[in-house]
Amino acid sequence: MSTQIQEESEEATETETETAPVERESPGDRRREAKRTASDQRVASEPVGEIEGDTFRLKVFRYDPEVEGKMEPRFDDFTVPREKGMTVLDALIYARDHYDTTLTFRHSCRQAVCGSDAFFINGRQRLGCQTQISDLDGPVRVEPLPHQDVVKDLVVDMEHFYDQMHAVEPFFQGDTPDGDLEEQRQSRENREKIKMSTRCIWCGACMSSCNIAAGDNEYLGPAAINKAYRFAMDDREEDELKEHRMKILDQEHGVWRCQTQFSCTNVCPKDIPLTEHIQELKREAVKQNLKFW
Amino acid sequence: MAERYSSFRSGSRSWLFQRVTAAFLVVVLAFHFFLLHFVNHASEVTFAGTSARMEQWGYLLTMVLFLLTATFHGVNGVYAALLNQGLTGTKKRAVKGVLAIAGLALAAQGTYVALVMSGVM
Amino acid sequence: MSQSYNRGLVEDFGRWREFTAGMWAWILHKFTGWVLVGYLFTHIAVLSTALPASNAASGVIAAETDVYTTTLQGLESLALVRVLEVGLLAVAVFHILNGVRLLFVDLGVGLEAQDKSFYASLVVTAAIVLASVPTFLEGVF
């Protein structure tokens, strides 16, 4: 790891001891201590303790089943310099690079496209890269997404979320046009209709915020239903396909479990009107069933 | 693959009935409260007064419908609330059975009482 | 992945301060629903006193001393019952108003104003209940 700056860890821990005395004994510290004595080639860099300017406290959920002292979940405090335009992800990266290299979280594009850094920040599901520190009250509290199993620190098990996504067959299945050079055209209106639903980045914030999904493990969840909406409402797919898609949605644990709490719509980082889409699918399912009567 | 969906049983019918009964109940429940607390005071209800009201066919029919829709709406609402908690399998079937019996018993008893009040039985 | 940690219901009532309007609406709608369905059963039970009352002699009914009349008026004379009735009114009015709100949500109307309509239903419920208190408590205190 090239970004790590070892010298700082000890002093940084000292600034933290006031708030989190546990930190001192943590195996991470012991490991770093051992590393420090073993290594001769320490480079002197700017000492901590004197971070210039304004700082804020970052509280991060820690858990690691493989490290003895971290098996019991806890919160660690980090002092992070406040910078203009700093996001929660920036702050986490700072904490990892300057204090504790074992701090684990997913991130990739840093621009709200990859959907890997959804966290529970100050009591709400948000993308770390999209959330400005200046918009939050301190201390900034970062937890893994609720209602998903924690694998390590801020990393949660997304398997169930992906299962639900795949359950709705999230891919285009329309017939390919006859001619080789034939295009499969979509009307402008139809594109507008499904536009918002195509913006999903599979971050799982909605599913995590939904308290029905938390109780009912079989519920498809907002993201999967929105994905199904994207294809069910796409005119380029044939009617039989739409029927097939509606069948998946129209089960007890499909769209009907949505209780219109708007939690998913509130937290969606891409502003997808999830509740609206789910409601439209409910009405669509009722219409279809009335047709068959 | 983990738990996805267990069956293809549609939930649209109970959802729709829940909304339709809701729309009906909004009106009738408001009427019921108004009639028995503001027009006639609840503290002044007598058997003679009750049967005088219930002897009107329109009123009797409204009240029986009120009972039936309210029972469905209430019992189905409870069932939905329990499903939302993640009720599945045998427990779900048991709850469904108990609620159905309770609902039917309530509807039967209530209808019987209404008919007796109106002097039909 | 050898092990993982289940944090359980993280967004439980310990975090009630962070609940949004839609979540409160759901909680209150469910609570009032349970109350109303419970009341429906007891209501029919109490009204069932009409069964023996209907067999009473016409003189007893005219004198208002039949089981039905005495039971209902006996209950209504209790201050506690009257107060509970005000509570029932509050519960019913909220359930009606929020129910109307939910019907609109189901029709896809006014989804952007769903939080405002919830607050409105709370305010209107409070207004109606306060205005009804005199009528409901008349003659018992």
- Chain A CB contacts of C13 under 8 Å are none
Contacting residues for C12 by C-beta, under 8 A, at least 6 apart:
none
Name the nearest CA neighbour of A218 among B82, B87, B15.
B87
**Position B21 in a domain:** yes
Structural domain of residue B104, as residue ranges?
13-118
The pLDDT, as a whole number, for residue A196 is 97
Looking at domain A7-149, its CATH superfamily turns out to be Beta-grasp domain (3.10.20.30)
- The H-or-E segment that residue A60 falls in is strand A55-62
More confident residue, B100 or A14: B100
Here the CATH number for the domain that contains residue B79 is: 1.20.1300
Q: Is B24 on the interface with C (CB under 8 A)?
A: no
Over residues B27-85, the pLDDT tens digits come to 999 999 999 988 988 888 899 999 999 999 999 999 999 999 999 999 999 999 998 88
Q: What is the DSSP letter of A153?
A: T
Name the nearest CA neighbour of A248 among A274, A228, A273.
A228
Contacting residues for B1 by C-beta, under 8 A, at least 6 apart:
A163, A166, A167
Give CA–CA dist B64/B107, Å, rounded. 9
Q: How many CB pairs under 8 A join A and C?
A: 79
Give CA–CA dist B55/B118, Å, rounded. 5
Burial class (CB in 10 A: 0-12, 13-18, 19+), A108: exposed
**Position B2 in a domain:** no
Give CA–CA dist C73/C67, Å, rounded. 10
- Chain C CB contacts of B51 under 8 Å are 54
Measured CA to CA in angstroms, residue A124 lies from A152, B121, C10, C16, C125 at distances of 20, 60, 11, 12, 29
First-to-last C-alpha distance (Å) of chain B? 58
- B6: pLDDT strictly greater than 50: no
Q: Where in chain A is the domain with CATH 1.10.1060.10?
A: 159-174+187-292
Burial class (CB in 10 A: 0-12, 13-18, 19+), C35: middle
What is the total count of domains within chain B?
1
The pLDDT, as a whole number, for residue C13 is 65
Per DSSP, the three-state class of A119 is: strand
Q: Does the beta-carbon distance from B2 to A166 stay under 8 Å?
A: no
Nearest to A65 among C2, C18, C106 (CB): C2
Give CA–CA dist B29/C26, Å, rounded. 20
Find out whether A145 and A125 touch, Cβ atoms under 8 Å: yes
Q: Tell whether omega for the bond before A139 is within 30 degrees of 0, i.e. cis.
A: yes
Over residues C10-38, the pLDDT tens digits come to 556 667 777 889 999 999 999 999 999 99
How much of chain C is in helix, strand and coil states, percent to nearest 5? 75, 0, 25
Chains touching chain C through at least 3 C-beta pairs below 8 angstroms are: A, B
Query: Which chain B residue's Cα is nearest to C64?
Result: B46
For chain B, percent of residues with pLDDT exceeding 90: 72
Name the nearest CA neighbour of C111 among A224, A260, A207.
A260
Give the β-pairing of A74-81 and A55-62: antiparallel
CATH number of the domain located at residue range(s) A159-174+187-292 in this protein: 1.10.1060.10
Over residues A237-276, the pLDDT tens digits come to 998 999 999 999 998 889 999 999 999 999 999 999 999 9
Helices (H) and strands (E) in chain B, counts: 4, 0
Find out whether A278 and A249 touch, Cβ atoms under 8 Å: no
Query: Which chain C residue's Cα is nearest to A151?
Result: C4
Query: Which chain B residue's Cα is nearest to A281?
Result: B12
- Chain B CB contacts of C134 under 8 Å are none
Written as one letter, the residue type at A284 is E
In chain C the domains, ranked by start, together with CATH numbers, are 20-137 (1.20.1300)
The pLDDT, as a whole number, for residue C97 is 97
Over residues C77-111, the pLDDT tens digits come to 999 999 999 999 999 999 999 999 999 999 999 89
- Which residues in chain A show pLDDT less than 70? 1-50, 292-293
**Position B110 in a domain:** yes
The pLDDT, as a whole number, for residue C9 is 62
Chains touching chain A through at least 3 C-beta pairs below 8 angstroms are: B, C
Q: Where in chain A is the domain with CATH 3.10.20.30?
A: 7-149
Could you tell me the two tokens for A55? 């700082």
The pLDDT, as a whole number, for residue B3 is 42
Q: Does the beta-carbon distance from A218 to B85 stay under 8 Å?
A: no
Q: Tokens 């943590």, residue?
A: A26
- B92: pLDDT strictly greater than 50: yes
The pLDDT, as a whole number, for residue A27 is 64
